[in-house]
Structures are given as C-alpha cells and as structure tokens.
Amino acid sequence: MIEKNIREQILDLIHRQVVPAVGCTEPMAVSLCTARATELLGERPEKIKARCSGNILKNAMGVGIPGTGMIGLPIAISLGALIGKSSYQLEVIKDLTPETLQEGKQYIKENRIDIKLKEGITEKLYIEITCEAGEKNAKAIIACAHTNFIYEEVNGEVLLNKCLDGSTACAEGKKDIALNMGLVWEFATTTPIEEIKFMLEAKRYNMRAASIALSGNYGHGVGKTMGRPLCRGIFGNSIYSNIISKTASACDARMGGALVPVMSNSGSGNQGICATNPVVVFAKENENTNEELIRALTLSHLTAIYIKQNLGPLSALCGCVVASTGSSCGITYLMGGNFNNICYAVKNMIANLAGMICDGAKPSCALKISSGVSTAVLSATLSMEGKYVTEAEGIVDEDVDRTIQNLTRLGKNAMCVTDDMVLDIMTSKNGC
C-alpha cells in the first residue's frame, strides 16, 4: 500500500480536480471572473470589458448557458454581473430565475459588454474582466486553472497579484504530486475503500445528468437517438450501446444548457462525464461490486488527471481523448484486468484517438464523446485478449508513461498552429 502522506497528496489532488460544475466550464469561469470583479466594484457595472485567451473564446462561442436557452459569453457575463456569486465557484449562476434572465438579456441589448481576444499572451487559460461604474473600476483575472484568481484591483489599488510578469504567467504555488501509471494503478487498487468512496458522488451527479437528457430535448439528442428503434436494430440493447447512450446524453444536457450540475474532471464537465458514465454503466451490467466500481472510478478519473498534468487544462486536443482513456482503464479493471492490461488499454486508446481536435465546446461534443467511449470499450476488450499496439507503430512507446508523454507533446506543442487555425475558422464564420 502507498505511504499515507503520498495517499493524502493524491486525495487532495482528486478533491481539487473532481468538483461539481454547472454548464460548460469556460463560460462559467468567465462568469465567475465577472462575478468577482463586480463584487470588487461594489455595485452593478455600467460597462464590462472581457479580454480572454483564444482557447477560452473557442470553448465558449457555441455552448448553451444553463437555464437560459442562449449560447455564448454575453449572457454568461451579464448573469455573472447581475446574480453571480464568486463563492459558488463554477456553479456561479445557480441562483438564476426567469426574472434575472430577462434582466441579463436587457443588459446585453444595452451594449454594456465588450468581448475581445487578449493579445500578447501565451497562457491558454486566461480571463481578464474589467467592470466600470462612473469613475469607479475593478479588475479580476483568472489564469492557469478555471477558478484560479491571480490578480484583483480596485480603482488602481492592487489587492491580489500572483503574476510573475503582470499579465500572463502564474506564480509558483503548491506543486501537485507527479503521477505515473504505476502510481495511479497502485493508489486506485490498494487505497482503503473508505478514503475513496466519495468517488460515488461522480456517479450520482453524472448519471443524473444523463437521466435528465433522456427525458428532455437537449443538443443533438445523441443519447436519446441511441435508444430509438433504428439504433437498437443496429447496435442492439447491449452494454456497448448503453454506455454510449448514458454518456452522450449527459453531454447533450450539459452542452444544451440544462441547469444541472455535473462532476467535472480537470476543469471540464465533459471530461468528468466521460470518465464516469462508461464505468458506471459497465459495472452495473457486468454485476461488479460497489467496491470494484469505486476503485474503477478512481482509476478512471486519476488517469485523466495524470494525462492533464502533462497536457495542461486547455489545448488543441479534444478532452474526450484524455477522459476516454481513463474510462477504458476503469472498464479494463472491471473486466478483471491487471496492470499490464491497463497499460495495453492506454496504448490502444492513444494509437486510435491521438490527433482528435478540439473545436470548441458545443452540442456536437456528444458525437466526439461517443467516439471516445466506443474506442474505450474496444481498447479494453482488446487489452483483455492481450492485444495492444506496439512500440513499432506510430507514437506508441514500449513504456506507457512515455506513450502518454508523446500524446501530450502533440496536444500541447505540435498542435498549436492547429489551435490558431481552428479559432480563425470559428471567428470568421458568419461575420463573427
């Protein structure tokens, strides 16, 4: 068993990375930053200036804002100013009412919000909000993580400054424990079950989101479609089809603007869904024990956290690649797999899905998640047969950790030009 101090560090990491969120995390982070700037201002802003990194803009343009029936940053910003509470973190607008929604819409009509790309920064997760009322002004900046405030200022007086250069870089803080697949496996399979049973909260949140979607009309209805006769005739009523349905439907609800919280992973609700629902559905239909489910969820979520440690919170690589790799590991464990089988599953996933681009958060993310979890099941099944992609093929290395590093190097470094091109395409459509 892992030493207690190491376990405590990993538990702390999970508690910080696996948290509830309402709506897509990028617009909610912008709403959170607006709420904080408004609190600093001390009154309702007359004008709001938002300056964000390209990845924030990309992930906020086409996604539904919970409870509003609207998409994009303007409504997220207006509600952050009018009803947002920074103490709610990524559930910042959970006090939304029909009356306050109308106020938010009116606020947008009055042209009080100015949104632009922040020039001259390299940080992919950067949000800068300036609120003005008369001669008063207040500024708040979030960077590096979705709830990480690095700068606060009121009327020129700096109240918080964790920047190294005054604008982009985050000061060194507490270092997270460096993970590897061996450590992830050992933690998930040997930690006393009482210490990790909280992982069942991910099941409660994310399966509830799936149920809500299946009883309503959200996004492209990918999850509901999987349950209709045509799809049942093709896929059957199988574990495979149920995994896709219950995972895609939760994404349908979240991207479609349902006012329902999900348990996120590494700052992404979709990643949290993708790391949770396939594992939960498989465990139920495979008749695994409750303890096995808890350990599988821990393995899935911690694998995703490990990959994101190397990749960063935002990149050109679709998050479903990361989270589906986690769920494939969880499913492999539920199949009775050992550490070697887990490594085989990771290699199969990376060989298949490397290069899937992120072109923003939006309803069609449910399609990408479907692709990811389909591959997760296939990769797990192959791994249990001892079948895996070898180091002779593509970016896969003999060592599983180097294989993961190869994937994250592509997403973090090599795909930067792709990221810029995606944003250019998105912002040039329809005169945006």
Taking only the tens place, the pLDDT of each residue in 37-47 is: 999 999 999 99
Taking only the tens place, the pLDDT of each residue in 295-341 is: 999 999 999 999 999 898 788 888 889 999 999 999 999 999 999 99
Which helix (DSSP H) or strand (DSSP E) does residue 314 occupy?
Answer: none
Could you give the CA distance from residue 263 to residue 270 in angstroms, rounded to a whole number? 9
Q: Is the pLDDT of residue 168 over 90?
A: no
* Percent of residues, the chain, with pLDDT higher than 70: 97
Q: What are phi and psi of 134, to 5 degrees?
A: 60, -125
pLDDT of residue 358: 87
Task: Among 230-244, 264-278, 312-326, name the one with the lowest average pLDDT.
Answer: 230-244
Higher pLDDT, 147 or 226: 147
For residue 189, give the nearest of 411, 7, 381 by alpha carbon. 7
Q: Is the pLDDT of residue 172 over 50?
A: no
Could you give the CA distance from residue 69 to residue 91 in angstroms, rounded to a whole number? 17
Q: What is the CA radius of gyration of the chain?
A: 21
- By three-state DSSP, how is residue 20 classified? strand
pLDDT of residue 165: 53
Taking only the tens place, the pLDDT of each residue in 182-204 is: 999 999 999 999 999 999 999 99
pLDDT of residue 40: 97
Q: What are phi and psi of 62, to 5 degrees?
A: -115, 10
Q: By CB neighbour count within 10 A (0-12 exposed, 13-18 middle, 19+ buried), where does 266 fall?
A: buried
pLDDT of residue 166: 44
- DSSP string across 118-137: PTT---SSEEEEEEEETTEE
| pLDDT grade for 95, boundaries at 50, 70 and 90 | very high
Q: Is the pLDDT of residue 273 over 70?
A: yes
Could you give the CA distance from residue 349 to residue 356 in angstroms, rounded to a whole number? 12
